[in-house]
Structure 1
Amino acid sequence: MIEVFSDGGCEPNPGVGGWGFVAYQDGAEIHSEFGGDPETTNNRMELEGALRALTWMAVNCAGREASLLSDSRYVVDGCNDWRHKWKAKGWKRGKEEIKNPGLWRSLDEVLTIYPLKLTWCKGHSGIVGNERADELSMMGIGHVTSRDITLCHVTVPGQPEEIGDYLSEEYRRLMAE
């Protein structure tokens, strides 16, 4: 079983944002990514984290039991329920276009190819994968703030412990600069 956790955040909102996701197989971290955007919103970063996670899952988890967990009701409810209604109505709620239509269209495309029901998890409650995804999203913010560019970091499969420690050290180093 592969469990993937995604997260996103923004400081302030709107402002500089970051996203991240982390994958675990049998409790061991096997992959993580993060990135950011200098001008965004919290919801866009939550969506971006989920989109990046689902895209990775479509390639790496096909034919295997896997789940995606997020602490964002907006992402989970939107992916599981709302997107079907929005799509049928031309990506509108009433007469207004939905917020973040490009991200929702991309999520719909990936979920059409790789159908998956997302699971909600409570944020900041000690769930290791959720805390790690939050850390990665903050690293995305840190990279954008320190370098004013959007970055993405990908870990090397088979080296979860070393990479996890490196990312924490990298985060502390960047934040100290």
Structure 2
Amino acid sequence: MAKIDCTVPPGLVIYADGCCEPNPGAGGWGFVVYLDEQEVACASGGAQQTTNQRMELTAVIEALAWVNDNFPEVAPRLFSDSAYAINGCNDWRHGWKRKGWSRGGPNAKPENSKIANLDLWQCLDGALMLRPITLEWCKGHAGIIGNERADELSLIGREAAVTPSPTALIRQQLDYTARY
């Protein structure tokens, strides 16, 4: 059995992760940024009603936005334990885009050609067109420091979505009142 390297690689390295319990249900996303093996930033968030895949993609989107705002000239390494996010970002989105954001060809049945989470895939496509990077896979729950930290942050984001702060509840009431 191959030993997993649990250290953070040098340079600008980001780990992104999402969670959802139950799925669908309350979910969270998180990312952590390391610069030369030192944690320099992290963020998390969540939603009361979502899916695990949406949170995995949101974590990558938020991480890319952060790096574009803070290190626009540096090429990061971005890791995720989500094969869905990795394959979609590195491969699938190119074909979907060529087919007019559809999974099937011109003869595909509409119910078979719909792309789940299309809004997020289009956002990721835009972000990755601005900053072309190849996302890298890492094994989840295997003791990899950055992945464990991103997982922890996704759980914090989920918890915040489940039990919003009093300030968030006041903001929610003000938004509701302003709308109606």
- TM-score class, shorter-chain normalisation, is 0.7 to 0.9
Structure 2 matches for 1:1-177, cutoff 5 A?
Answer: 1-94=11-104, 95=108, 96-147=113-164
CA distance in 2, matches of 1:35, 1:106: 17
2-structure distance, mates of 1:82, 1:125: 26
Q: Which residue of 2 aligns with 1:175?
A: none
Query: Unmatched 5+ residue regions in structure 1?
Result: 152-177
Root mean square deviation, CA, Å: 1.5
Deviation at 1:83, TM superposition (A): 0.5
Query: Judging changes above 3 Å, is the alpha-carbon distance between structure 1 residues 148 and 87 closer, same or farther for their aligned structure 2 residues?
Result: farther
The answer to whether the 8 A contact 2:26-2:161 is kept is: yes
TM-score normalized by structure 2? 0.80
Alpha-carbon distance between aligned partners in 2 of 1:71 and 1:105, rounded to the nearest angstrom:
21
Larger radius of gyration: 2
1:148 deviation in Å? 8.0
- Take 2:141 and 2:37, find their aligned partners in 1: how far apart are those partners? 19
SS in 1 for 2:41: strand
Shift, 1:56, TM fit = 1.1
Q: Residues of 1 paired with 2:129 and 2:75: CA distance?
A: 17
Q: As a proportion of its length, which structure holds more strand? A: 1
Contact 2:75 2:133 in 1 (8 A): no
Give the length in aligned residue pairs: 150
3-state SS of paired residue (2:73)? coil
> Any idea what SS the aligned residue of 1:98 has?
coil
Distance (Å, rounded) in 2 between the aligned partners of 1:19 and 1:56? 14
Q: Give the stretch that moved more between structures: 58-67 or 124-133.
A: 58-67
Identity between Structure 1 and Structure 2 (%): 50
